[in-house]
Each structure stands twice: as C-alpha cells, then as structure tokens.
Amino acid sequence: MSRSRILCVTDSLHSGSSQSQLVEIALFLCQIGYDVEFMVYKPDDSYEYVLKQQGIAVTRIAPCNLLQRFFRIRKFIRNGGFNLVIAFHRTPSFICELAGLPRRSWKLVVSERSSRRYKPHSFLEYLYAYFHIYADSIVCNTFSNCNLILQSNTRLDPDKVHVIYNCHDFSGWKQPYPLPTATAGNKLRMVIAANVSDITNLNVFIDAMLRLTPQERSVLHVEWYGCGSKKSCNSEVLENVNKEIQQKKIHLMASNLPYDLTEIIAESDIVGLFSYKEKLPRELCTAMAAGKPIISANVSDFPLLVEEGRGGFTCDAENPSSIADALRKMIRISSSQRHEMGRYNTQRARFLFCKEHTVQRYVVLFQKLLTM
C-alpha cells in the first residue's frame, strides 16, 4: 500500500510561530510514515535545513507577481499527486482553495491565524473568508478567531472549523520556576514584553500606573522589554513615562539588546500583557509554563487561558481604570496566592500547549480526512 503524500504550503520558512507549528507537524508526519513536502514563495529559509535533514523536500516558487504565483502553485498541486494539502496563513490558504476549483482529488486543510478583532470589513477580507467553503477543514489557533470566521461566513459548516492552540517545546521547563519572594527593596517585578505601538498600549498602561496610589506604585518594579524608543508615545504620555522612569517605577528596556526573555520571565514575579489586539503570543505561553501569575487584556482567548482569580487577572486594555484595578488586585493578594496562580498556570500550559498533545490533534484530523 502506497504512503499518503502530504504537501505543506506557506509563504516562507522564517522563524515565526506559525512556521514553527507547521514544521513541527510536518516532522511528526514524516516520523509516522507519511511522505511530506513543502512549498514556499518567499526567500527566508530559517527552517529549510531542519526539514531537509529529515528528507522533506522544499520547493520554492521563484519571485513573481500574485497571478503568476497562483498559476505556478496551482499547477504544482494539481500535477503532484498529493492526498492532502495543508496551507498556513491567509494568502497561501486562499491560493490553495482557488487551486482546487472546479474540483480536486485531494483533501485540503487551511489555517486561520489572524489577530483581527472584528469581522472583515474590506472586500479582500470577505473574499478570504468566503473561499473557506472550498476547504475540508479550517483550523484556528484561538476560539475568538474561530468565532470571527463563523460570523464572517454563515455558509461555513461549524463542524469543519477546529481550534488547536500553538504548540510549545517545554523540554526546558522540567519543573515550574519558583516565584521569587520579591525583587530588591521588597518590590514585585512585573515583566512586559511588547514593542511600543498603539496596539501594545504603553500610553494607556502609563495612565493606569498613575491612577495607583504612590504606595501601590512603590510595590511594583515594571520592566517593559522591546521598547527601543518612545517615539510612539504622545508628548503628554512621554512626560509621564520620563517621570515614572525617574521615580524607578518603569524601566524601558531597549529591543535591540540580546535579552533571553525565557529567563527574564522565569525570574519575574508577574507577567503583564496589555495589547488590545493579539493572537496567542509566545510570552503568554512561556509565562504560564514558567508558573507565573498573569495580568492580561481581555482580548483573544486570554480570558479563557488566564482564568480570573485562578491564573491571574484580566482587564479592559483600552480602559486605564480597569488596568489599574487589575494591578491593584495583584498587589493586594498574598505571595502564596500568587504562587498558587503560577502552579495552576503551569498545569494548564502543559495540557493546552504541549507539543505532543497539539501535534497529535492535527494528526487525528488529517487521518480522519484521508480515510473519508
């Protein structure tokens, strides 16, 4: 009996979280006996060496315009004799859905990994959502995104839409890192990893900090990693940032330094995530695996993952009073309560994000489609 042939299609092999998911899936499929190939159309090849080591061929479409790219990918798929095509990212998924028209002999799984907050509002976004009816399965990496996809296209069969969280390698997290009792000067060290932008909310966070009492602020030692410069802040907030820096409440850490965020998170007391638009950032998963209590915005699947009062506290990212309230709650609970939050997050992370569990869910889905 011949082995099933699987083609993975994505834009590039750069070292992003989506690409790492697809590479992990492909490596596992190869290990259990499938013939796996990759097709990409951008030059970055961070993962190409890993794939070729396992005998996985990588075909790269030469630079060309969108129409030429479509016809080249379509020809490759239709002449390739594949049993299953897996497409990650919206444009590759759209191309693969079109390539199957008017009919196809292979199964098609596409992936939605968008960080949109609302339903599509442009013609292209509606087109992307509409063409999902031509896929056999659509995999989202958050429940919030799954709901958006179903709302965007009422013709979609809900049974075709699945949620599988991103996998993470926890081999370095043999045991949860213990929570430090406190940083120097009896302060709680809160780490935030996010580039400065309107989305990541430095302005609103500073406003929230200023709403705390001086005594409450004196308990916190905030380190914001990835700031680089403060050019995204308006002049009033910039003045407040400088004031807070002078008072040693917030430390803006330049993004171009060789920080090991895994170790920094491991040595923190609290991890904060205040963006008002997010997918499922690696920092959240790392913080949970490291056994840290979390204060997060109530966006994406954060409220499901950071259970209020059990794994941390959530807040409205666009409301400084809400952020201040969450900070205040975390300050006021005992160190043993924060430790219990961290232990709870570790257990959740190992169940939700472990590589073996996540990849196996993909494999079960693929095997079901291949036998239909």
d(CA 187, CA 223): 12
Q: Do 146 and 140 contact (CB within 8 A), yes or no? A: yes
CB-based burial, 176-208: b 16+ in 10 Å, e otherwise: bbebeeebeeebbbbbbbbebeeebbbbbbbbb
* 262 closest CA partner among 288, 280, 233, 283: 283
What is the CA 269 to chain-centroid distance, rounded?
A: 22
For residue 63, say if its preceding peptide bond is cis, omega within 30 degrees of 0. no
d(CA 149, CA 170): 30
Question: Going along the chain, which residue ranges are E strands?
Answer: 5-9, 35-40, 57-60, 84-87, 107-112, 137-140, 161-163, 188-193, 220-225, 250-253, 270-273, 294-297, 312-315
* 221 closest CA partner among 199, 195, 194, 244: 244
d(CA 287, CA 92): 31
- The reported pLDDT for the residue numbered 256 is 46
Q: Which two tokens stand for residue 64?
A: 């060309």
d(CA 259, CA 249): 20
d(CA 7, CA 38): 6
Name the residue type at position 55.
G
- How far is it between the farthest Cα atoms of the chain? 72
Q: Is 307 exposed, middle or buried (0-12, 13-18, 19+ CB in 10 A)?
A: middle
Q: Which two tokens stand for residue 57?
A: 């061929």
| Angle 201-212-202 from CA coordinates, rounded to 5° | 10
Q: Which residues pair with 38 in a beta bridge?
A: 8, 58
* 108 closest CA partner among 119, 92, 123: 92
Q: Give me the tens of pLDDT residue by residue for the chain, a chain 372 residues long.
A: 468 999 999 999 887 777 888 998 999 999 999 999 999 999 877 888 899 999 999 999 988 888 999 999 999 999 999 999 999 988 999 999 999 999 999 999 999 876 555 566 677 778 888 899 999 999 998 898 898 889 888 899 999 999 998 887 766 654 555 544 444 457 899 998 776 655 567 778 888 988 999 899 889 888 888 754 444 444 444 455 555 554 545 666 544 444 577 888 888 999 999 887 767 777 888 899 889 999 999 988 889 999 999 999 999 988 999 999 999 999 999 999 999 999 999 999 988 888 888 888 999 999 999 998
Strand order in the sheet with 294-297: 250-253, 220-225, 188-193, 270-273, 294-297, 312-315
| Angle 351-285-19 from CA coordinates, rounded to 5° | 100
- The reported pLDDT for the residue numbered 235 is 45
d(CA 311, CA 351): 14
| Angle 352-22-55 from CA coordinates, rounded to 5° | 130
CA distances from 56 to 36, 75, 207, 267, 328 (A): 6, 20, 51, 39, 52
d(CA 299, CA 259): 27
- Report helix, strand or coil for 286: helix
- The reported pLDDT for the residue numbered 249 is 56
- The reported pLDDT for the residue numbered 242 is 53
